[in-house]
Amino acid sequence: MNSSMKRNIVLDHGTGAKLSRELVDFIVDILGDVYIGEMEDSALLSLPNARIAMTTDSFVVDPLIFGNGDIGKIAVCGTVNDLAVVGATPQYLTLAFIIETGLPFSDLERVLVSIRDTAREADIKIVAGDTKVVNQGEADKLFINTTGVGYFPREPLRMKHVRVGDHILLSGPIGNHAVHLLSIREGLGFESRVLSDCAPLNHMIAALLDGKAGWGIHSIRDVTRGGLAAVMQEYSRVGPFHMALDQARLPIQHETAMACDMLGIDPIDLANEGCLCLFVAPDYADLALDLLRRHAPGTGAVDIGKVLSSDTAQVRLKFPGGHVKRLEELEGAVLPRLC
């Protein structure tokens, strides 16, 4: 860091003058080879073909930095995964920062290092960016907005491709990300045993779609805000379908279940940052599970249910012993904002 720079972000870092230039230089120096912008108002880019996927997202996380990740890692993973689940290959990423005065440069540096390392892991390039600095109280330390662009080397995956009889697969445990953050915030003591699942999933998805299992994969969704329950409710309305889930098969870490029992919440409603829900034709379900389990984020992959025919959209959870519960769509959040 330039010795003349302040230890914390100040409002003049957003004026467009010398301190702004130094802030941008600081960001670019840390991002290194994952940043290919030329400091002009727009980037000039090339894509292998004209059929592209584009997504945009905004990231707010409390706490900003947590046990095994931070807002920077979440921003890259969230954008990359949104592109990959529709069958696109992530190619380019833009970053816009809204920074509150008083943010330590050491925190910004950690976030930037995380962005750089995660972008390298996902093999995506950062092509443009922006910084805005606001007064204290006008933002919560740091907000990040992204736009991601990818291209389609294959046919896109859409929700409307789901069929009656499809198996519903999960790539790993649910609820860990939310419980990890909540444990840090509330001092619950689970954060060292329940880690965030935040990870870029594009390479695992590409391996699935490019292999034999790809012929039977109809749709993929990353299970983020709103949790598995929200994903099921959304897909049930497409058919309409009856999403029949087996409660005993849901992958829930023991400590996550303990924390949820203590708080009176259900892991099925909690946010994740590295979990996929896949809808797969019956003849390809076992093959897809085998391929998922060969990748670190997919080692806990399981088959949790089926898509059934229905006249109305419904999500039902079958418990051991035969009791069936219909899941109603939540009207609000089960927890204060985490991410």
C-alpha span between 114 and 110 (Å, rounded): 6
Query: Is the pLDDT at 4 greater than 50, yes or no?
Result: no
The answer to whether the peptide bond before residue 173 is cis (omega within 30 degrees of 0) is no
**pLDDT value of residue 49:** 76
Share of the chain above pLDDT 90, in %: 82
Name the 3-class secondary structure at 70.
Answer: strand
Identify any residues that bridge with 142 across adjacent strands, giving them in sequence order.
99
Question: 227 — phi, psi (to 5°)?
Answer: 70, -170
Domain 11-151 matches domain 159-326 at the CATH topology level: no
What tens digit of pLDDT does each residue of 22-56 get?
A: 999 999 999 999 988 877 778 888 888 789 999 99
- Looking up tokens 């993973």 gives 77
Share of the chain above pLDDT 70, in %: 96
Average pLDDT, the chain: 93
Query: Is the pLDDT at 1 greater than 70, yes or no?
Result: no
C-alpha span between 243 and 326 (Å, rounded): 10
Q: Which two tokens stand for residue 280?
A: 């797969």
C-alpha span between 333 and 181 (Å, rounded): 15
What pairing do the DSSP bridges indicate for beta strands 314-318 and 241-246? parallel
Question: 202-210 vs 71-84: helix axis angle to the nearest 10?
Answer: 20
Q: What is the CATH architecture assignment of 159-326?
A: Alpha-Beta Complex (3.90)
What tens digit of pLDDT does each residue of 132-191 get?
A: 999 999 999 999 999 999 999 999 999 999 999 999 999 999 999 999 999 999 899 999
Query: Is the pLDDT at 2 greater than 60, yes or no?
Result: no
**pLDDT value of residue 114:** 98
pTM above 0.85, yes or no: yes
CATH of domain 11-151: 3.30.1330.10
What tens digit of pLDDT does each residue of 79-118 get?
A: 999 999 999 999 999 999 999 999 999 999 999 999 999 9
Over range 50-77, report the average pLDDT: 94
From the list 206, 155, 169, 161, the residue with the least C-alpha distance to 287 is 169
Quote the radius of gyration of the chain (alpha carbons, Å). Answer: 21
What pairing do the DSSP bridges indicate for beta strands 324-326 and 314-318? antiparallel
Query: Which DSSP string corresponds to 183-220?
Result: HHHHT-S-TTTS-------HHHHHHHHHSGGGGGEEEE
C-alpha span between 318 and 17 (Å, rounded): 61
What tens digit of pLDDT does each residue of 110-131 get?
A: 999 999 999 999 999 999 999 9
Query: Is the pLDDT at 71 greater than 90, yes or no?
Result: yes
Q: Residue ranges of the domains in the chain?
A: 11-151, 159-326
What tens digit of pLDDT does each residue of 199-240 get?
A: 999 999 999 999 999 999 999 999 998 899 999 999 999 999
